Structure 1
Amino acid sequence: MIEIKNLKKIYNGVTVVNVPGLVINKGETIGLVGNNGAGKTTLFRMILDLIRADSGEVLSKGVNVAESEEWKRYTASYLDEGFLIDYLTPEEYFYFIGSFSDLSKAHTDAELSRYTDFFNGEILQRNKYIRDLSKGNQCKVGVVSCLLQNPEVLMLDEPFANIDPSTQIRLKNMLKQLNAERHTTTIVSSHDLSHVTDVCQRILLMEKGKIIKDIRTDSNTRDELEEYFSVMQ
């Protein structure tokens, strides 16, 4: 589904991403973990063609993302609140996003009804602009706007960071259900080892721009990661 070949990004003489090769298969749920400055967000942005590589390439369904717009049709991402149109209400934003998939307002409303528990009465019909919502609620808007697109590839950068524990559990269940029902290829970046090992089938550990571990998730994965980060301290 996604293949990376000899991907490298250098800032001011410092290599921030250096991934010689990586294959993410269709339907996999991938967790990307690492300390601050490990290169996770830069890699995310390179996969989404928001940052151009100094060398190498990212292929989505075999096509270089820097040379085609086709991958955008089936890819949805939420990196942070800066990607939202914050002068709209959540409803206006959802209708806007839904229009790209030819969803009518009625169809969009029907889809949104599936996320009533996730919204917890804090998003819809509150007469607030997105900019006036908390970061956690902005994250909810961003995540659901991705799901409205029914993507084949879903990318979420730190989706658990600003939401409360109940919402974290709901989000994990949503991601598991998405994988089980739609076989969506999902990449989640997170500092929370518990959440990422609970949701993801495979963990990529980044350090200084390199993927130094590629682990199939099992009952020992969290302990292995915690041991690594304890040593790093």
Structure 2
Amino acid sequence: MIEIKNLKKVYAGATVVNVPQLEIKKGESIGLVGNNGAGKTTLFRMILDLIRPESGEVLSNGYNVAGAEAWKNYTASYLDEGFLIDYLTPEEYFYFIGGLHQQNRAQVDETLLGLTDFFNGEILKKGKYIRDLSKGNQCKVGVGSCLLQKPELLMLDEPFANIDPSTQFRLKNILKTENKNNGVTTIVSSHDLNHVTDVCDRILLMEKGVIIKDIATSSSTLSELEEYFGVGQIVTPEIKVDKEENH
């Protein structure tokens, strides 16, 4: 699904992402964790061709994202409220996104009906523009628009950050369903270790632009991550990657 080769991004002389090799297979659920400034969002944006690397490439189903368009048809992402058209109401935005994917209003409404619990009565028929919603409710709109697209690849950057506990629980169920039942490849960045280890089968730990751990989620993964972040371990790009394979 996703293959990264010798990917490097430099800002003001400092290397912020340096990923020599990474493969994400179709149907995997990936959690990306790391401290602020680790390079998680920059990596997301390069996978989505929103910024260009100094060197290297990102392949999506064999397509170089920097030179192809086909991958966009099966990829959905929400990184922040800047992805939304904030002068529209949620309904107008959903119908616009649906139309881009050859869906009529009835088809869009059917998908939105399945998101009733997730929206929790706070999104539809409120007469508000997206810009007037809270950040948490803007996130709901962003996630909902992703699901409308029925993607093969779903990428969410910090989706749990601004939503309430009930919505967090519902979002985790949505992500698990999309991955397990519909075969959607999911990549989720989060500072919340509990959520990401609950949702994802594979965890990538990123520090200073380098993926220093690549581990299959197990009963000990949460405590391992908590111990790592708790001691404030300092890492350098020369650290060897720990890789544990699923068996």
Amino acid at match of 2:189: S
- Aligned positions of 1:137-216 closer than 5 A: 137-216=137-216
Partners of 2:110 and 2:67 lie apart in 1 by: 36
Aligned structure 1 segments of 4 or more residues deviating by more than 6 angstroms: none
Partners of 1:57 and 1:155 lie apart in 2 by: 18
Residue 95 of structure 1: how far off its partner (Å): 0.1
Deviations 1:145-177 (A, max 9, x none): 000000000000000000000000000000001
For 1:227, the equivalent position in structure 2 comes to: 227
Percent identical residues: 77
**TM-score, normalized by length of structure 1?**
0.99
Amino acid at match of 1:171: L
- Aligned positions of 1:14-29 closer than 5 A: 14-29=14-29
For 2:49, the equivalent position in structure 1 comes to: 49
Deviations 1:46-93 (A, max 9, x none): 000001010000000011100101110110000000110000000000
For 2:103, the equivalent position in structure 1 comes to: 103
Partners of 1:94 and 1:63 lie apart in 2 by: 28
**TM-score, normalized by length of structure 2?**
0.94
For 2:34, the equivalent position in structure 1 comes to: 34
Q: How many aligned positions are there?
A: 233
Residue 232 of structure 1: how far off its partner (Å): 0.8
Question: Matched residue of 1:18: which SS?
Answer: strand
Residue 100 of structure 1: how far off its partner (Å): 1.3
Partners of 1:181 and 1:100 lie apart in 2 by: 25
Residue 216 of structure 1: how far off its partner (Å): 0.2
For 1:65, the equivalent position in structure 2 comes to: 65
Question: Matched residue of 1:156: which SS?
Answer: strand
Amino acid at match of 2:114: R
Residue 181 of structure 1: how far off its partner (Å): 1.5
Partners of 1:187 and 1:101 lie apart in 2 by: 22
For 2:241, the equivalent position in structure 1 comes to: none
Residue 227 of structure 1: how far off its partner (Å): 0.4
Structure 1 runs not aligned, ≥5 long: none
Partners of 2:228 and 2:8 lie apart in 1 by: 25
